[in-house]
Amino acid sequence: MRATGLSLFRMQRYSQVHRTPGSQGRARTPSLEELRRLLWTRAHPTGHVDEVWPNLYMGDVYVARDKAQLSRMGISHVVNAAAGRFHINTGPKFYKDLPVDYYAVEAEDNPNFDLSIYFYPVAQYIRAALNSPRGKVLVHCAMGISRSATLVLAFLMICEDMSLTDAIQTVRSHRGICPNSGFLKQLRELDLQLGRGKGRGAEAC
């Protein structure tokens, strides 16, 4: 889909969500309890796939394996956040009949799993994909609510200079998400690093 009136309207909506009224720079990083309340309040329904940022989609295993739908959507890049031994073993061979670039993240949906090591590499991959001609990115895991959500939130924080609160509000306006407690802690630490200026932030993208 090109820059039609509808897509421009979407961009305006995303910008309005991003610019929190009265905010100046990065707001205070919320506590874990405050973040949990934010995630659990008035959750948006979750389908197999939802566009959560212009040309950036989040989904589950069903859409990841539905090559006909991916083709109709014009998906050019797939980030599998549950690759390999973590049960969704698609890969380049699975998509060989589609013009799709594939990025594998072998992440477990476990609070003790360190997903933060993938925050910057995946954020940079998504940014480059979105900047490519006709770039449309699907980030998925098994249910499309924890691993994939965590990576998309990190992308918005790193490359779009959002606070964690703004990133959660942006995604939740389109899709119900629920990063596990360990991932939420890792995102909170990223927010603290970026807020202190110790993260590389948007310059890394």
User: Which residues are identified as catalytic?
Assistant: 141
CA–CA distance, 170 with 173 (Å, rounded to integer): 6
Residue 102 phi, psi (nearest 5): -120, 135
CA–CA distance, 101 with 75 (Å, rounded to integer): 9
CA torsion angle 33 38 43 47 (round to 10):
-90
CA–CA distance, 151 with 139 (Å, rounded to integer): 8
Which pair of structure tokens corresponds to residue 146?
Answer: 């924890």
What long-range pairs does 92-99 form, CB within 8 A, spacing at least 24? 94/65, 95/67, 97/67, 98/67, 98/70, 98/71
| CA angle in degrees (0–180, nearest 5) for 188-189-192 | 90
CA–CA distance, 84 with 113 (Å, rounded to integer): 15
Report CA 7 to chain centroid distance, whole Å: 19
